[in-house]
């Protein structure tokens, strides 16, 4: 998991520059640690801009409502 966190931190700012990406984190999917990308809309063009993996670590895209602070 440490490696996944390091890779996420390395690419986080770059991923957040993609319009529609609202968050980047680490999670588990199908028993493996993945980089989780949160997106604000289900949009084929947006999904195509997100890589399937980075440095051999799978990317999991999750749709979420807009995130706002209180």
% pLDDT > 70, the chain: 91
Interval 23-70: pLDDT, tens: 999 999 999 999 999 998 888 999 999 999 999 999 999 998 665 655
pTM of the model: 0.86
- Quote the number of domains for the chain: 1
In a domain, 69, yes or no: no
Beta strands in 17-68 (DSSP E): 21-29, 32-39, 53-54, 57-63
Q: Are residues 35 and 4 in contact, defined by beta-carbon separation less than 8 angstroms?
A: yes
Q: The CATH number of the domain where 29 resides is what?
A: 3.30.300
Give the pLDDT of residue 69: 58
In a domain, 26, yes or no: yes
Question: Cα(30)–Cα(11) distance, rounded to whole angstroms?
Answer: 22
pLDDT band at 13 (very low <50, low <70, confident <90, very high): very high
Domain residue limits at 39: 2-63
């Amino acid at each position: 998991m440490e490696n996944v966190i390091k890779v996420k931190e390395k690419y986080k700012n770059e991923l957040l520059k993609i319009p529609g990406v609202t968050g980047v984190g680490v999670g588990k999917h199908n028993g493996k640690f993945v980089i989780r990308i949160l997106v604000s809309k289900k949009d084929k063009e947006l999904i195509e801009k997100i890589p399937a993996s980075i440095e051999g670590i799978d990317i999991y895209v999750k749709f979420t409502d807009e995130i706002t602070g209180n």
